[in-house]
Structure 1
Amino acid sequence: MSTLATRDLTIRFGGHVAVNAVTCAFEPGTLTAIVGPNGAGKTTYFNLISGQLKASSGSVTLGGQELTGQSVSARTHAGLGRAFQLTNLFPNLTVLENVRLAVQATRDGKHRHGLNLWSIWSDHRALTTRAEEILDTVAMHERRDTPVASLPHGDQRKLEVALLMALEPQVYMFDEPTAGMSHDEAPVILNLIRELKKDKTKIILLVEHKMDVVRELADRIIVLTNGTLVADGLPAEVIASPVVQEAYLGVSKEPGKETAA
Protein backbone atom coordinates (compact mmCIF):
# COMPACT_ATOMS: atom_id res chain seq x y z
CA MET A 1 0.00 0.00 0.00
CA SER A 2 1.20 3.48 -0.91
CA THR A 3 2.22 6.34 1.36
CA LEU A 4 1.50 9.95 0.35
CA ALA A 5 4.28 12.26 1.45
CA THR A 6 5.29 15.90 1.18
CA ARG A 7 8.84 16.96 1.92
CA ASP A 8 9.72 20.60 2.58
CA LEU A 9 6.71 21.58 0.44
CA THR A 10 6.73 25.36 -0.02
CA ILE A 11 4.98 28.01 -2.08
CA ARG A 12 5.67 31.74 -2.16
CA PHE A 13 3.48 34.47 -3.58
CA GLY A 14 5.86 37.39 -3.94
CA GLY A 15 7.30 37.92 -0.48
CA HIS A 16 4.56 35.90 1.24
CA VAL A 17 5.23 32.27 2.15
CA ALA A 18 1.78 30.61 2.06
CA VAL A 19 3.03 27.08 2.79
CA ASN A 20 6.35 26.84 4.57
CA ALA A 21 8.47 23.69 4.21
CA VAL A 22 5.76 21.24 5.26
CA THR A 23 7.04 17.70 5.67
CA CYS A 24 4.34 15.13 6.39
CA ALA A 25 3.44 11.52 5.48
CA PHE A 26 -0.04 10.01 5.23
CA GLU A 27 -0.60 6.28 5.54
CA PRO A 28 -3.39 4.04 4.16
CA GLY A 29 -6.22 3.31 6.59
CA THR A 30 -6.00 6.75 8.20
CA LEU A 31 -8.23 9.80 7.93
CA THR A 32 -6.15 12.90 8.63
CA ALA A 33 -7.90 16.19 9.36
CA ILE A 34 -6.01 19.36 8.44
CA VAL A 35 -7.09 22.25 10.64
CA GLY A 36 -6.04 25.78 11.53
CA PRO A 37 -7.32 29.37 11.45
CA ASN A 38 -8.48 31.14 8.28
CA GLY A 39 -5.52 31.88 6.05
CA ALA A 40 -3.40 29.17 7.66
CA GLY A 41 -2.58 27.57 4.30
CA LYS A 42 -4.79 24.46 4.52
CA THR A 43 -6.41 24.72 1.08
CA THR A 44 -3.16 25.97 -0.45
CA TYR A 45 -1.45 22.84 0.90
CA PHE A 46 -4.22 20.76 -0.68
CA ASN A 47 -3.71 22.60 -3.98
CA LEU A 48 0.01 21.85 -3.92
CA ILE A 49 -0.63 18.15 -3.32
CA SER A 50 -3.27 17.82 -6.05
CA GLY A 51 -1.39 20.01 -8.55
CA GLN A 52 -3.66 23.08 -8.80
CA LEU A 53 -0.66 25.11 -7.64
CA LYS A 54 3.00 24.67 -8.54
CA ALA A 55 5.35 24.41 -5.58
CA SER A 56 8.19 26.90 -5.21
CA SER A 57 10.25 24.08 -3.69
CA GLY A 58 9.87 20.70 -2.04
CA SER A 59 8.25 17.51 -3.28
CA VAL A 60 5.06 15.40 -3.36
CA THR A 61 5.28 11.60 -3.72
CA LEU A 62 2.77 8.76 -3.71
CA GLY A 63 4.08 5.26 -3.17
CA GLY A 64 7.55 6.58 -3.96
CA GLN A 65 6.41 8.02 -7.31
CA GLU A 66 7.45 11.63 -7.80
CA LEU A 67 4.40 13.81 -8.50
CA THR A 68 5.87 17.26 -7.95
CA GLY A 69 6.19 18.31 -11.58
CA GLN A 70 3.14 16.45 -12.85
CA SER A 71 -0.16 17.92 -14.05
CA VAL A 72 -3.49 17.59 -12.24
CA SER A 73 -4.63 14.89 -14.65
CA ALA A 74 -1.40 12.94 -14.27
CA ARG A 75 -1.77 13.04 -10.49
CA THR A 76 -5.36 11.86 -10.82
CA HIS A 77 -4.18 8.87 -12.88
CA ALA A 78 -1.51 8.24 -10.24
CA GLY A 79 -4.21 7.92 -7.58
CA LEU A 80 -5.07 11.35 -6.17
CA GLY A 81 -8.79 12.15 -5.98
CA ARG A 82 -9.79 15.69 -5.05
CA ALA A 83 -13.24 17.02 -4.12
CA PHE A 84 -13.52 20.79 -4.32
CA GLN A 85 -15.23 23.26 -2.01
CA LEU A 86 -17.26 24.33 -5.05
CA THR A 87 -18.79 21.53 -7.07
CA ASN A 88 -16.97 20.75 -10.32
CA LEU A 89 -19.67 19.02 -12.38
CA PHE A 90 -21.14 19.07 -15.90
CA PRO A 91 -24.39 20.97 -15.22
CA ASN A 92 -26.14 20.23 -18.54
CA LEU A 93 -25.61 16.46 -18.33
CA THR A 94 -27.63 14.06 -16.21
CA VAL A 95 -26.43 12.58 -12.95
CA LEU A 96 -25.80 9.21 -14.62
CA GLU A 97 -23.91 10.80 -17.52
CA ASN A 98 -21.61 12.66 -15.11
CA VAL A 99 -20.70 9.48 -13.25
CA ARG A 100 -20.39 7.41 -16.43
CA LEU A 101 -17.91 9.94 -17.85
CA ALA A 102 -15.81 9.66 -14.70
CA VAL A 103 -15.88 5.84 -14.88
CA GLN A 104 -14.93 5.99 -18.56
CA ALA A 105 -12.06 8.39 -17.92
CA THR A 106 -10.73 6.05 -15.23
CA ARG A 107 -10.95 2.92 -17.36
CA ASP A 108 -9.50 4.63 -20.42
CA GLY A 109 -6.54 5.71 -18.32
CA LYS A 110 -5.96 2.22 -16.92
CA HIS A 111 -6.85 0.06 -19.93
CA ARG A 112 -6.00 1.72 -23.22
CA HIS A 113 -6.84 -0.50 -26.19
CA GLY A 114 -7.84 -0.32 -29.83
CA LEU A 115 -11.48 0.41 -30.65
CA ASN A 116 -13.83 -2.06 -32.30
CA LEU A 117 -17.60 -2.36 -32.44
CA TRP A 118 -17.72 -5.12 -29.84
CA SER A 119 -15.58 -3.21 -27.33
CA ILE A 120 -17.64 -0.02 -27.81
CA TRP A 121 -20.91 -1.88 -27.16
CA SER A 122 -19.69 -3.99 -24.24
CA ASP A 123 -17.79 -1.13 -22.63
CA HIS A 124 -20.85 1.11 -22.83
CA ARG A 125 -22.89 -1.45 -20.90
CA ALA A 126 -20.11 -2.02 -18.38
CA LEU A 127 -19.64 1.72 -17.83
CA THR A 128 -23.37 2.24 -17.27
CA THR A 129 -23.55 -0.70 -14.86
CA ARG A 130 -20.61 0.58 -12.82
CA ALA A 131 -22.04 4.13 -12.77
CA GLU A 132 -25.39 2.84 -11.51
CA GLU A 133 -23.63 0.83 -8.77
CA ILE A 134 -21.92 4.00 -7.57
CA LEU A 135 -25.18 5.95 -7.63
CA ASP A 136 -26.73 3.22 -5.48
CA THR A 137 -23.87 3.62 -3.00
CA VAL A 138 -24.50 7.36 -2.62
CA ALA A 139 -28.31 6.91 -2.60
CA MET A 140 -28.82 8.84 -5.85
CA HIS A 141 -30.13 6.17 -8.21
CA GLU A 142 -33.57 7.78 -8.31
CA ARG A 143 -31.86 10.95 -9.61
CA ARG A 144 -30.00 9.17 -12.42
CA ASP A 145 -31.84 11.01 -15.25
CA THR A 146 -31.94 14.42 -13.54
CA PRO A 147 -29.86 17.22 -15.11
CA VAL A 148 -27.18 18.24 -12.64
CA ALA A 149 -28.11 21.93 -12.96
CA SER A 150 -31.48 21.21 -11.34
CA LEU A 151 -30.06 19.34 -8.34
CA PRO A 152 -30.19 20.97 -4.89
CA HIS A 153 -26.81 21.81 -3.39
CA GLY A 154 -26.75 18.80 -1.08
CA ASP A 155 -27.30 16.38 -3.96
CA GLN A 156 -24.56 18.08 -5.97
CA ARG A 157 -22.15 17.42 -3.12
CA LYS A 158 -23.27 13.77 -3.00
CA LEU A 159 -22.67 13.54 -6.74
CA GLU A 160 -19.21 14.97 -6.27
CA VAL A 161 -18.39 12.09 -3.91
CA ALA A 162 -19.80 9.69 -6.51
CA LEU A 163 -17.42 11.12 -9.11
CA LEU A 164 -14.51 10.64 -6.73
CA MET A 165 -15.52 7.02 -6.16
CA ALA A 166 -15.70 6.51 -9.94
CA LEU A 167 -12.06 7.59 -10.22
CA GLU A 168 -11.04 4.75 -7.86
CA PRO A 169 -8.32 6.87 -6.21
CA GLN A 170 -5.71 5.77 -3.70
CA VAL A 171 -6.12 9.12 -1.92
CA TYR A 172 -9.43 10.88 -1.18
CA MET A 173 -9.07 14.62 -0.59
CA PHE A 174 -12.04 16.53 0.85
CA ASP A 175 -11.91 20.31 1.25
CA GLU A 176 -14.77 21.30 3.58
CA PRO A 177 -17.18 18.68 2.20
CA THR A 178 -20.18 20.02 4.14
CA ALA A 179 -19.65 23.69 3.16
CA GLY A 180 -22.93 25.35 2.23
CA MET A 181 -25.00 22.34 3.25
CA SER A 182 -27.98 22.52 5.56
CA HIS A 183 -28.04 20.83 8.96
CA ASP A 184 -30.15 18.04 7.47
CA GLU A 185 -27.96 17.53 4.38
CA ALA A 186 -24.52 17.38 6.02
CA PRO A 187 -24.92 13.94 7.69
CA VAL A 188 -25.36 12.31 4.26
CA ILE A 189 -21.88 13.39 3.15
CA LEU A 190 -20.37 12.48 6.50
CA ASN A 191 -21.90 9.01 6.29
CA LEU A 192 -20.34 8.55 2.86
CA ILE A 193 -16.93 9.47 4.26
CA ARG A 194 -17.47 7.01 7.12
CA GLU A 195 -18.12 4.29 4.53
CA LEU A 196 -14.95 5.22 2.63
CA LYS A 197 -12.99 4.93 5.89
CA LYS A 198 -13.84 1.23 6.07
CA ASP A 199 -11.47 0.57 3.16
CA LYS A 200 -8.13 0.43 4.97
CA THR A 201 -6.19 0.57 1.70
CA LYS A 202 -7.19 4.22 1.17
CA ILE A 203 -5.76 7.48 2.45
CA ILE A 204 -8.28 10.22 3.33
CA LEU A 205 -7.39 13.88 3.84
CA LEU A 206 -9.99 16.28 5.20
CA VAL A 207 -9.88 20.07 5.52
CA GLU A 208 -12.69 21.05 7.86
CA HIS A 209 -13.53 24.02 10.09
CA LYS A 210 -16.23 22.21 12.08
CA MET A 211 -14.47 20.68 15.04
CA ASP A 212 -17.35 18.36 15.89
CA VAL A 213 -16.86 16.74 12.46
CA VAL A 214 -13.10 16.55 13.00
CA ARG A 215 -13.50 14.95 16.43
CA GLU A 216 -15.83 12.31 15.07
CA LEU A 217 -14.07 11.35 11.84
CA ALA A 218 -10.37 11.97 12.27
CA ASP A 219 -7.80 9.33 13.21
CA ARG A 220 -5.13 12.02 13.21
CA ILE A 221 -5.01 15.83 13.17
CA ILE A 222 -2.35 18.12 11.77
CA VAL A 223 -2.48 21.86 12.41
CA LEU A 224 -1.20 24.58 10.09
CA THR A 225 -0.77 28.23 10.95
CA ASN A 226 0.85 30.83 8.72
CA GLY A 227 1.68 27.97 6.37
CA THR A 228 3.72 26.10 8.96
CA LEU A 229 2.97 22.68 10.46
CA VAL A 230 2.72 23.28 14.21
CA ALA A 231 1.02 20.16 15.58
CA ASP A 232 0.56 16.54 14.51
CA GLY A 233 -0.94 13.67 16.47
CA LEU A 234 -3.96 11.81 17.75
CA PRO A 235 -7.12 13.96 17.89
CA ALA A 236 -7.41 13.95 21.68
CA GLU A 237 -3.78 14.99 22.10
CA VAL A 238 -3.87 17.75 19.50
CA ILE A 239 -7.21 19.18 20.59
CA ALA A 240 -6.09 19.15 24.26
CA SER A 241 -2.89 21.06 23.48
CA PRO A 242 -3.21 24.54 25.08
CA VAL A 243 -1.35 26.29 22.27
CA VAL A 244 -3.62 24.70 19.67
CA GLN A 245 -6.79 25.45 21.62
CA GLU A 246 -5.90 29.08 22.25
CA ALA A 247 -4.22 30.06 19.01
CA TYR A 248 -5.45 27.76 16.28
CA LEU A 249 -8.85 26.34 17.13
CA GLY A 250 -10.29 29.52 18.62
CA VAL A 251 -10.90 28.10 22.09
CA SER A 252 -11.00 30.57 24.97
CA LYS A 253 -8.46 30.36 27.78
CA GLU A 254 -11.33 30.28 30.25
CA PRO A 255 -12.21 26.68 31.20
CA GLY A 256 -15.41 25.39 29.65
CA LYS A 257 -15.73 28.23 27.12
CA GLU A 258 -15.28 27.48 23.44
CA THR A 259 -15.38 30.37 21.01
CA ALA A 260 -15.25 28.32 17.84
CA ALA A 261 -16.23 24.83 16.86
Structure 2
Amino acid sequence: MNNEHPVLSTHGLSIRFGGHVAVNNVNCEFRPGTLTAIVGPNGAGKTTYFNLMSGQLPPTSGTVRLYGQDVTHLGAPQRTKRGIGRAFQLTNLFPNLTVLENVRLAVQSRAGLGLNMTSMWASHVELIEKAEHFLHVTALTERRHELASALSHGDKRKLEIAILLALEPDIFMFDEPTAGMSVDEVPVVLDLIHHIKAQGDKTILLVEHKMDVVRSLADRIIVLHNGYLVADGDPAEVMASPIVQEAYLGTGMADHV
Protein backbone atom coordinates (compact mmCIF):
# COMPACT_ATOMS: atom_id res chain seq x y z
CA MET A 1 0.00 0.00 0.00
CA ASN A 2 1.45 3.37 -1.02
CA ASN A 3 1.71 5.78 1.89
CA GLU A 4 1.94 8.69 -0.54
CA HIS A 5 -1.77 8.50 -1.27
CA PRO A 6 -4.53 9.14 1.27
CA VAL A 7 -6.78 6.26 2.16
CA LEU A 8 -9.50 8.60 3.42
CA SER A 9 -10.01 12.29 2.71
CA THR A 10 -12.62 15.00 3.14
CA HIS A 11 -13.03 17.98 0.81
CA GLY A 12 -15.03 21.05 1.82
CA LEU A 13 -16.98 18.86 4.23
CA SER A 14 -19.77 20.71 6.05
CA ILE A 15 -22.98 19.94 7.87
CA ARG A 16 -25.64 22.33 9.07
CA PHE A 17 -28.32 21.64 11.67
CA GLY A 18 -30.82 24.45 11.22
CA GLY A 19 -28.84 27.64 11.72
CA HIS A 20 -25.87 25.87 13.33
CA VAL A 21 -22.89 24.76 11.24
CA ALA A 22 -21.41 21.84 13.19
CA VAL A 23 -18.60 21.05 10.72
CA ASN A 24 -17.45 23.85 8.44
CA ASN A 25 -15.56 23.29 5.19
CA VAL A 26 -13.07 20.74 6.54
CA ASN A 27 -10.34 19.56 4.18
CA CYS A 28 -8.19 16.73 5.53
CA GLU A 29 -6.36 13.61 4.37
CA PHE A 30 -5.46 10.43 6.28
CA ARG A 31 -2.73 8.03 5.15
CA PRO A 32 -1.97 4.39 5.97
CA GLY A 33 0.43 3.68 8.80
CA THR A 34 -0.51 6.82 10.72
CA LEU A 35 -2.51 7.54 13.84
CA THR A 36 -4.24 10.92 13.84
CA ALA A 37 -5.77 12.28 17.04
CA ILE A 38 -8.74 14.61 16.59
CA VAL A 39 -9.07 16.98 19.53
CA GLY A 40 -11.00 20.10 20.44
CA PRO A 41 -13.27 21.58 23.12
CA ASN A 42 -16.70 20.12 23.80
CA GLY A 43 -19.02 20.97 20.92
CA ALA A 44 -16.13 21.49 18.50
CA GLY A 45 -17.58 19.04 15.95
CA LYS A 46 -15.27 16.06 16.51
CA THR A 47 -17.88 13.30 16.74
CA THR A 48 -19.97 14.93 14.00
CA TYR A 49 -16.91 14.88 11.74
CA PHE A 50 -16.46 11.19 12.59
CA ASN A 51 -20.12 10.56 11.74
CA LEU A 52 -19.71 12.27 8.38
CA MET A 53 -16.66 10.18 7.50
CA SER A 54 -18.15 6.86 8.64
CA GLY A 55 -21.45 7.48 6.85
CA GLN A 56 -23.77 7.92 9.80
CA LEU A 57 -24.62 11.46 8.68
CA PRO A 58 -24.94 12.90 5.16
CA PRO A 59 -23.11 16.22 4.68
CA THR A 60 -24.80 19.45 3.72
CA SER A 61 -21.93 20.04 1.30
CA GLY A 62 -18.52 18.63 0.44
CA THR A 63 -17.28 15.11 -0.25
CA VAL A 64 -15.74 12.09 1.45
CA ARG A 65 -13.31 9.99 -0.58
CA LEU A 66 -12.16 6.46 0.20
CA TYR A 67 -9.16 5.26 -1.82
CA GLY A 68 -9.82 8.23 -4.10
CA GLN A 69 -13.43 7.23 -4.82
CA ASP A 70 -16.33 9.44 -3.83
CA VAL A 71 -18.34 7.64 -1.10
CA THR A 72 -20.29 10.69 0.07
CA HIS A 73 -23.64 9.15 -0.79
CA LEU A 74 -22.90 5.70 0.61
CA GLY A 75 -24.29 4.77 4.03
CA ALA A 76 -22.34 3.35 6.96
CA PRO A 77 -22.83 -0.35 6.00
CA GLN A 78 -21.47 0.24 2.49
CA ARG A 79 -18.47 2.13 3.84
CA THR A 80 -17.82 -0.63 6.36
CA LYS A 81 -17.68 -3.16 3.51
CA ARG A 82 -15.12 -0.93 1.81
CA GLY A 83 -12.80 -0.88 4.80
CA ILE A 84 -13.95 1.68 7.37
CA GLY A 85 -14.29 0.32 10.91
CA ARG A 86 -15.99 2.50 13.48
CA ALA A 87 -15.75 1.57 17.16
CA PHE A 88 -18.28 2.29 19.89
CA GLN A 89 -20.86 4.36 18.02
CA LEU A 90 -21.16 2.45 14.76
CA THR A 91 -20.75 -1.00 16.25
CA ASN A 92 -23.88 -2.48 17.81
CA LEU A 93 -23.68 -5.38 20.23
CA PHE A 94 -26.28 -8.12 20.21
CA PRO A 95 -27.23 -7.93 23.91
CA ASN A 96 -28.96 -11.32 24.07
CA LEU A 97 -26.07 -13.21 22.46
CA THR A 98 -22.96 -14.30 24.28
CA VAL A 99 -19.62 -12.55 23.98
CA LEU A 100 -18.31 -15.34 21.76
CA GLU A 101 -21.40 -15.33 19.54
CA ASN A 102 -21.04 -11.56 18.98
CA VAL A 103 -17.48 -12.00 17.77
CA ARG A 104 -18.35 -15.14 15.77
CA LEU A 105 -20.87 -13.14 13.76
CA ALA A 106 -18.25 -10.51 12.94
CA VAL A 107 -15.77 -13.20 11.84
CA GLN A 108 -18.50 -14.88 9.80
CA SER A 109 -19.41 -11.58 8.13
CA ARG A 110 -15.75 -10.84 7.31
CA ALA A 111 -15.48 -14.29 5.72
CA GLY A 112 -18.43 -13.48 3.47
CA LEU A 113 -20.76 -15.98 5.12
CA GLY A 114 -23.39 -13.44 6.16
CA LEU A 115 -24.99 -13.20 9.58
CA ASN A 116 -26.87 -16.49 9.68
CA MET A 117 -26.80 -17.76 13.28
CA THR A 118 -27.85 -21.24 12.09
CA SER A 119 -24.66 -21.67 10.08
CA MET A 120 -22.87 -24.90 11.00
CA TRP A 121 -19.98 -23.49 12.98
CA ALA A 122 -18.55 -26.94 13.52
CA SER A 123 -17.64 -26.97 9.82
CA HIS A 124 -15.76 -23.70 10.15
CA VAL A 125 -13.18 -24.53 12.79
CA GLU A 126 -10.77 -21.89 11.55
CA LEU A 127 -13.42 -19.19 12.00
CA ILE A 128 -14.15 -20.31 15.55
CA GLU A 129 -10.42 -20.19 16.29
CA LYS A 130 -10.29 -16.67 14.89
CA ALA A 131 -13.15 -15.57 17.12
CA GLU A 132 -11.40 -17.07 20.13
CA HIS A 133 -8.21 -15.24 19.14
CA PHE A 134 -9.94 -11.86 19.18
CA LEU A 135 -11.42 -12.64 22.59
CA HIS A 136 -7.94 -13.51 23.84
CA VAL A 137 -6.31 -10.28 22.64
CA THR A 138 -9.10 -8.22 24.22
CA ALA A 139 -8.87 -10.12 27.53
CA LEU A 140 -12.42 -11.46 27.24
CA THR A 141 -11.77 -15.20 27.05
CA GLU A 142 -13.09 -15.86 30.55
CA ARG A 143 -16.34 -14.07 29.67
CA ARG A 144 -16.92 -15.83 26.35
CA HIS A 145 -20.18 -17.47 27.49
CA GLU A 146 -21.68 -14.43 29.25
CA LEU A 147 -24.43 -12.43 27.58
CA ALA A 148 -23.22 -9.12 26.16
CA SER A 149 -25.94 -7.34 28.14
CA ALA A 150 -24.41 -8.61 31.40
CA LEU A 151 -20.97 -7.12 30.79
CA SER A 152 -19.60 -4.10 32.61
CA HIS A 153 -19.24 -0.86 30.68
CA GLY A 154 -15.52 -1.47 30.23
CA ASP A 155 -15.99 -5.02 29.00
CA LYS A 156 -18.65 -3.89 26.53
CA ARG A 157 -16.12 -1.50 25.06
CA LYS A 158 -13.55 -4.27 24.85
CA LEU A 159 -16.13 -6.46 23.10
CA GLU A 160 -16.78 -3.71 20.60
CA ILE A 161 -13.05 -3.60 19.87
CA ALA A 162 -12.99 -7.39 19.49
CA ILE A 163 -15.81 -7.13 16.93
CA LEU A 164 -14.00 -4.33 15.15
CA LEU A 165 -10.77 -6.36 15.01
CA ALA A 166 -12.73 -9.34 13.66
CA LEU A 167 -14.02 -7.22 10.78
CA GLU A 168 -10.38 -6.52 9.81
CA PRO A 169 -10.90 -2.98 8.46
CA ASP A 170 -8.22 -0.85 6.82
CA ILE A 171 -9.35 2.24 8.76
CA PHE A 172 -9.95 2.15 12.50
CA MET A 173 -12.01 4.97 14.00
CA PHE A 174 -12.03 5.22 17.79
CA ASP A 175 -14.29 7.78 19.49
CA GLU A 176 -13.04 8.28 23.06
CA PRO A 177 -12.18 4.59 23.52
CA THR A 178 -11.21 4.91 27.19
CA ALA A 179 -14.22 6.96 28.34
CA GLY A 180 -15.94 5.42 31.35
CA MET A 181 -13.30 2.75 31.84
CA SER A 182 -11.67 1.90 35.15
CA VAL A 183 -7.96 2.57 35.63
CA ASP A 184 -7.27 -1.17 35.30
CA GLU A 185 -9.16 -1.48 32.01
CA VAL A 186 -7.59 1.45 30.14
CA PRO A 187 -4.17 -0.20 29.47
CA VAL A 188 -5.83 -3.13 27.67
CA VAL A 189 -7.47 -0.81 25.16
CA LEU A 190 -4.38 1.36 24.69
CA ASP A 191 -2.23 -1.74 24.14
CA LEU A 192 -4.67 -2.91 21.46
CA ILE A 193 -4.47 0.42 19.65
CA HIS A 194 -0.67 0.33 19.92
CA HIS A 195 -0.76 -3.19 18.40
CA ILE A 196 -2.94 -2.07 15.49
CA LYS A 197 -0.63 0.89 14.86
CA ALA A 198 2.46 -1.35 14.97
CA GLN A 199 1.14 -3.32 11.98
CA GLY A 200 2.19 -0.29 9.92
CA ASP A 201 -0.48 -0.50 7.23
CA LYS A 202 -3.61 0.60 9.07
CA THR A 203 -5.06 4.09 9.23
CA ILE A 204 -6.20 5.05 12.72
CA LEU A 205 -8.34 8.03 13.70
CA LEU A 206 -8.81 8.77 17.39
CA VAL A 207 -11.08 11.25 19.13
CA GLU A 208 -9.73 11.62 22.63
CA HIS A 209 -9.92 14.15 25.49
CA LYS A 210 -7.08 12.71 27.56
CA MET A 211 -3.87 14.31 26.40
CA ASP A 212 -1.67 11.66 28.02
CA VAL A 213 -3.38 9.14 25.73
CA VAL A 214 -2.90 11.42 22.72
CA ARG A 215 0.79 11.93 23.49
CA SER A 216 1.40 8.19 23.80
CA LEU A 217 -0.30 7.29 20.52
CA ALA A 218 -0.54 10.12 18.00
CA ASP A 219 1.72 10.77 15.03
CA ARG A 220 -0.37 13.81 14.19
CA ILE A 221 -3.01 16.00 15.80
CA ILE A 222 -5.80 17.91 14.11
CA VAL A 223 -7.82 20.41 16.10
CA LEU A 224 -11.45 21.32 15.50
CA HIS A 225 -12.98 24.45 17.01
CA ASN A 226 -16.54 25.64 16.31
CA GLY A 227 -16.62 23.25 13.37
CA TYR A 228 -13.45 24.60 11.76
CA LEU A 229 -10.13 22.79 11.33
CA VAL A 230 -7.80 25.22 13.11
CA ALA A 231 -4.57 23.20 13.44
CA ASP A 232 -2.97 20.16 11.84
CA GLY A 233 0.50 18.76 12.39
CA ASP A 234 3.10 17.32 14.74
CA PRO A 235 1.64 16.81 18.25
CA ALA A 236 4.20 18.97 20.08
CA GLU A 237 3.89 21.82 17.59
CA VAL A 238 0.11 21.73 17.53
CA MET A 239 -0.23 21.72 21.31
CA ALA A 240 2.10 24.70 21.57
CA SER A 241 0.48 26.78 18.82
CA PRO A 242 -1.20 30.09 19.82
CA ILE A 243 -4.39 29.32 17.88
CA VAL A 244 -4.84 26.08 19.82
CA GLN A 245 -4.22 27.82 23.15
CA GLU A 246 -6.83 30.40 22.19
CA ALA A 247 -9.27 27.66 21.18
CA TYR A 248 -8.99 26.33 24.69
CA LEU A 249 -10.07 29.66 26.18
CA GLY A 250 -6.55 30.88 26.64
CA THR A 251 -5.45 27.99 28.83
CA GLY A 252 -3.12 25.04 28.34
CA MET A 253 -4.37 22.14 26.28
CA ALA A 254 -2.82 19.59 28.57
CA ASP A 255 -5.17 20.62 31.34
CA HIS A 256 -8.37 21.01 29.39
CA VAL A 257 -8.50 18.54 26.52
Amino acid at match of 2:256: A
Residue 195, structure 1, aligned to residue 195, structure 2: yes
TM-score (norm 1): 0.89
Q: Structure 1 residues 126 and 12 mapped into 2: Cα distance closer, same or farther (>3 Å)?
A: same
Amino acid at match of 1:83: A
Q: CA deviation at 1:258?
A: 5.8
Extract unaligned runs of 5+ from structure 2: none
- Counterpart contact for 1:85–1:179, Cα < 8 Å: no
Partner of 1:209: 209
- Counterpart contact for 2:121–2:128, Cα < 8 Å: no
For 2:155 and 2:187, the matched residues in 1 are separated by 12
- Counterpart contact for 1:35–1:207, Cα < 8 Å: yes
Partner of 1:260: 256
Q: CA deviation at 1:122?
A: 6.5
Greater Cα offset, 54-63 or 82-91: 82-91
For 1:75 and 1:202, the matched residues in 2 are separated by 16
Partner of 2:221: 221
Aligned residues: 250
Q: Structure 1 residues 160 and 251 mapped into 2: Cα distance closer, same or farther (>3 Å)?
A: farther
- Counterpart contact for 2:220–2:234, Cα < 8 Å: yes
Partner-residue secondary structure (3-state), 2:124 = helix
Extract unaligned runs of 5+ from structure 1: 113-118
- Counterpart contact for 2:106–2:163, Cα < 8 Å: yes
Partner of 1:68: 72
Q: CA deviation at 1:177?
A: 0.3
Partner of 1:234: 234
For 1:251 and 1:123, the matched residues in 2 are separated by 61
For 1:121 and 1:178, the matched residues in 2 are separated by 33
Cα deviations by residue, 1:170-225 (Å, 9 ceiling, x for unpaired):
10000000111122221211111111111111000000111111111110000001
Q: Structure 1 residues 130 and 251 mapped into 2: Cα distance closer, same or farther (>3 Å)?
A: farther
Q: CA deviation at 1:65?
A: 2.2
- Counterpart contact for 1:100–1:128, Cα < 8 Å: yes
Q: CA deviation at 1:237?
A: 0.4
- Counterpart contact for 2:211–2:254, Cα < 8 Å: no
For 1:120 and 1:128, the matched residues in 2 are separated by 11
- Counterpart contact for 2:230–2:243, Cα < 8 Å: no
1:40 to 37, 44, 49: 44
Q: CA deviation at 1:148?
A: 1.1
Partner of 2:53: 49
Partner-residue secondary structure (3-state), 1:44 = helix
2:25 to 12, 21, 32: 21
Q: CA deviation at 1:144?
A: 1.3
For 1:121 and 1:130, the matched residues in 2 are separated by 12
For 2:37 and 2:134, the matched residues in 1 are separated by 25
Greater Cα offset, 36-45 or 53-62: 53-62
Residue 174, structure 1, aligned to residue 174, structure 2: yes
Q: Structure 1 residues 137 and 240 mapped into 2: Cα distance closer, same or farther (>3 Å)?
A: same
Q: Structure 1 residues 121 and 139 mapped into 2: Cα distance closer, same or farther (>3 Å)?
A: closer
Partner-residue secondary structure (3-state), 1:146 = coil
Q: Structure 1 residues 27 and 93 mapped into 2: Cα distance closer, same or farther (>3 Å)?
A: same
Partner of 1:154: 154
Q: CA deviation at 1:89?
A: 0.9
Q: CA deviation at 1:230?
A: 0.5
**Share of identical aligned residues, percent?**
64
- Counterpart contact for 2:15–2:22, Cα < 8 Å: yes
Q: Structure 1 residues 198 and 258 mapped into 2: Cα distance closer, same or farther (>3 Å)?
A: closer
Greater Cα offset, 87-96 or 174-183: 87-96
For 1:209 and 1:157, the matched residues in 2 are separated by 17
Q: CA deviation at 1:88?
A: 2.7
For 2:109 and 2:146, the matched residues in 1 are separated by 21
For 1:235 and 1:121, the matched residues in 2 are separated by 46
For 2:30 and 2:64, the matched residues in 1 are separated by 11
Amino acid at match of 1:11: I
Partner-residue secondary structure (3-state), 2:23 = strand
